[in-house]
Chains A and B, each alone.
Chain A
């Protein structure tokens, strides 16, 4: 996959994650029933671990995906000599998201004993972003747009 396509796929995934986390945040704030095929989503949302410093975890998730999407968006405009720094940043952000997702999934499985399908969707997206950020980091070619190269 070319660097441009890879960047677009990461951007699309980050936007999908932004939608998932944003919805979870909105439902959390509204104290609404979360659409779910079991009681797991409400169970996870009401658990004390669904907040950090009084702020819903979904809010942090929303900021994470938004910043990831922004990084992908500004990446093509960054000068060639700073492209490496951008891929380091993406890798760092992708790894952070993945590790946090692993920890949150652990909490769901072993502490809350419930599975929230929206959280699973977010964990899958975060894992995919991590894998793609590794690929982007390993890619030797610089991110250049064919029409503008």
Chain B
């Protein structure tokens, strides 16, 4: 092997070793995972954005902001649990949805786009339920969902590919990342101005019950 080859291979090896070392350092010095329920300084107005899908009482003192991924099985169970809460405490809870499609779920972004496109025609929750029911739908199946909901298909196709829909999803995702969310479902539970960040729906159920017992 000539010295030029040796030199270049050494340089390449050096870059790879330094890169792998920095990546490992970054990975292992990450802050420890936070507890599933913690008080937060985040203000309600910081996480509310105009035009996000919501249901329940818009003037309720108890507000749940749900960061969810439509391909995540735990989010499906979380959605059912939140639905039960809305029924049980009718008129006392406001639920706001925000997208948090995880990178590990191949179709999560596609599902978020479809739900957001349906939201443009007032059918977000219906589309969410259809997607959650299967969670392995492809583009063709999503079209069938849209058709079954009576959506204007031309508009749906246009919205699915639109910059605005993509931007809405990315804005939600960026907000979630800024707040330090790393898993789904993650909820922000506000009682007035006091907020808690909650990971997982079982912890949410417990915390909402505590809040409701106290009111």
A residues whose Cβ falls under 8 Å from a Cβ of B: 4, 8, 11, 15, 18-19, 22, 26, 28-33, 39, 42-43, 45-48, 51, 54, 66, 69-70, 72-77, 111-114, 145, 147-148
Distance to closest chain A CB from B202 (angstroms): 23
Distance to closest chain A CB from B177 (angstroms): 5
**B51-59, B80-88, B100-108: which one contacts chain A?**
B100-108
Q: How far apart sit A28 and B104, CA to CA, in the bound complex (Å)?
A: 10
Chain B: residues with Cβ within 8 Å of the partner, total of: 34
Whether A77 contacts B2 in the complex (CB less than 8 A), given A22-B19, A43-B166, A43-B167, comes out as yes
Indicate if the CB atoms of A77 and B103 lie closer than 8 Å.
no
Whether A42 contacts B170 in the complex (CB less than 8 A), given A19-B19, A26-B23, A48-B110, comes out as yes
Indicate if the CB atoms of A76 and B5 lie closer than 8 Å.
yes
Q: Give the residues in chain A near B19, CB-CB below 8 Å.
A: 19, 22
Which of chain B's residues has its CB closest to A111's CB?
A: B161
Interface residue B70 (Cβ < 8 Å from any Cβ of A): no
Which of chain A's residues has its CB closest to B173's CB?
A: A46
Indicate if the CB atoms of B23 and A31 lie closer than 8 Å.
no
Whether A70 contacts B174 in the complex (CB less than 8 A), given A46-B101, A76-B4, A148-B3, comes out as no
Q: How far apart sit A32 and B1, CA to CA, in the bound complex (Å)?
A: 41
Distance to closest chain B CB from A93 (angstroms): 16
Residue pairs across A and B with Cβ atoms less than 8 A apart, 29 shown, are: A8-B8, A11-B8, A15-B11, A19-B15, A19-B19, A33-B178, A39-B167, A39-B170, A39-B174, A42-B177, A43-B166, A46-B103, A47-B166, A48-B109, A51-B106, A54-B106, A69-B12, A72-B8, A75-B5, A76-B4, A76-B8, A77-B1, A77-B4, A77-B5, A112-B166, A114-B166, A145-B4, A148-B2, A148-B4
Distance to closest chain A CB from B36 (angstroms): 19
Indicate if the CB atoms of A47 and B173 lie closer than 8 Å.
no
Whether A4 contacts B4 in the complex (CB less than 8 A), given A47-B166, A54-B106, comes out as yes
In terms of DSSP, what is the predominant structure of the interface of chain A?
A: helix
The 6 closest A-B pairs by CB, nearest first: A73-B8, A76-B4, A77-B5, A113-B163, A31-B103, A77-B2
Distance to closest chain A CB from B140 (angstroms): 15
Q: How far apart sit A77 and B2, CA to CA, in the bound complex (Å)?
A: 5
Q: Give the residues in chain B near A45, CB-CB below 8 Å.
A: 103
Q: Give the residues in chain B near A47, CB-CB below 8 Å.
A: 109, 166
Indicate if the CB atoms of A73 and B3 lie closer than 8 Å.
no
Q: Give the residues in chain A near B49, CB-CB below 8 Å.
A: none
Interface residue B182 (Cβ < 8 Å from any Cβ of A): yes
Distance to closest chain A CB from B104 (angstroms): 8
Q: Give the residues in chain A near B3, CB-CB below 8 Å.
A: 145, 147-148
Q: How far apart sit A51 and B105, CA to CA, in the bound complex (Å)?
A: 11
Q: Give the residues in chain B near A46, CB-CB below 8 Å.
A: 101, 103, 109, 169-170, 173
Q: Give the residues in chain B near A114, CB-CB below 8 Å.
A: 166
